Amino acid sequence: MRKIQVGIVQQSNSADARTNMNNLAKSIVHCASQGAQLIVLQELHNSLYFCQTENTDLFDLAEPIPGPSTQFYAELAANHKVVLVTSLFEKRAPGLYHNTSVVFDTDGSIAGKYRKMHIPDDPAYYEKFYFTPGDIGFEPIQTSLGKLGVLICWDQWYPEAARLMTLKGAELLIYPTAIGWESSDTDDEKARQLNAWIISQRAHAVANGLPVISVNRVGHEPDPSGQTNGIQFWGNSFVAGPQGEMLMQAGSSEAETSIVEVDMERSENVRRWWPFLRDRRIDAYEGVTKRYLD
C-alpha cells in the first residue's frame, strides 16, 4: 500500500516575521520527527494577513523567488527530508506581485510553484490591491511523493480549478488558506460560513476522487485601519479522503500540528466505484467557459 504521512501546521501569527518563521521551523521539525513526509503550511504564513487594508508600504513584505524565504524553507526541507508546501508574497518585478505557493522536494530543491489564480476583493480581504492573478495555470507539481495539485485559499471555492488539476494528473489537492470571521457576525452566520467552506472542499474530494488537504491559520488579527473588528481566523484545518471522509480536523481557536496518514492508492478504488471521470459529458460543457449564459 502506498501511504504517506502528512503534517499539518495551523499557526497564529504576529507582526514579527522572524518569530513567525522560527515558530514554523519548530513545527516543521516536530512534524518531521513524528514521521511526516509531506508538510503543508497556511497561506502567507510569514506575516500577519496584511490584506485587511490597502497600504503601499506593505509591498515591502514581498520578496523574489528564489530569495531569503525560499532559502530558509529549502534548508528545512532538505535537513528533514520532507516535501514542504509553503505560501509566499512574491515580488516578480517592480510593481508586479503574486500570492505564490512554493513546493520544496526532499533535497531542498524547488519542485515547482503555483500563483494564486482567483483573487478576492472584499472588506478585510483586499487582495486585488496586492496580487496580480496567476499566469502559470492549474499545473500540478511533481514531487518525489507524487503530483500535488496546489491551489490557494479563494481558489478552493471553484470546482473548475480542482477539476483541471485532477485532469492533469494531480494525486492530492492542497489548499493553503487564510479565512475567518468578522467578529460582528452572528453565531449562526459563522456556522454557515465555516460549514460552507468545509462542504465545498469535501465536494472537490468526492467529485474528483482525490484526498484534499486544507490548512488555515488561527487567532485574531486586528484591522490596522479600525474600520472593522479584524479577522478571527477560524482554523479547522482538515484532511478529507476521496469520498469526502474526514481523516482529521483541527480546532477553531488554537495553533496545532497534526500528522495524518493518507492512502494514495484509495483513489483508484474510489474511482472504480464512482466513475465520475468516465461519465463526464465533455461534449456538452462548452458553456462553462462563458461568464454567464444570457
Give the 3-state secondary structure of 145-173. CEEEEECCHHHHHCHHHHHHHHHCCCCEE
The active-site residue, picked from 90, 113, 116, 171, is 116
| C-alpha distance from residue 104 to each of 74, 79, 100, 226 (Å) | 6, 12, 13, 38
Q: Ramachandran region of residue 214, left (φ > 0), alpha (ψ -120 to 50) or beta?
A: beta
CA 127, distance to chain mean position in Å, is 15
Give buried/exposed letters for 26-39 (b at 16+ CB in 10 A, else e).
Answer: ebbeebbeeebbbb
Q: Is the dihedral of CA 21, 27, 32, 38 positive or negative?
A: negative
Q: CA-to-CA distance for 10 and 216, rounded, in angstroms?
A: 6
SS3 content of the chain, % helix, strand, coil (to 5): 30, 30, 40
43 is catalytic: yes
265 is catalytic: no
Contacts of 29 (CB under 8 A, 6+ apart): 76, 80
Cβ–Cβ under 8 Å, residues 153 and 176: yes
51 is catalytic: no
The active-site residue, picked from 31, 51, 90, 153, is 153
Q: Is 207 exposed, middle or buried (0-12, 13-18, 19+ CB in 10 A)?
A: middle
Note the residue count of the chain: 294
Cβ–Cβ under 8 Å, residues 287 and 294: no
Q: Which residues are catalytic?
A: 43, 116, 153
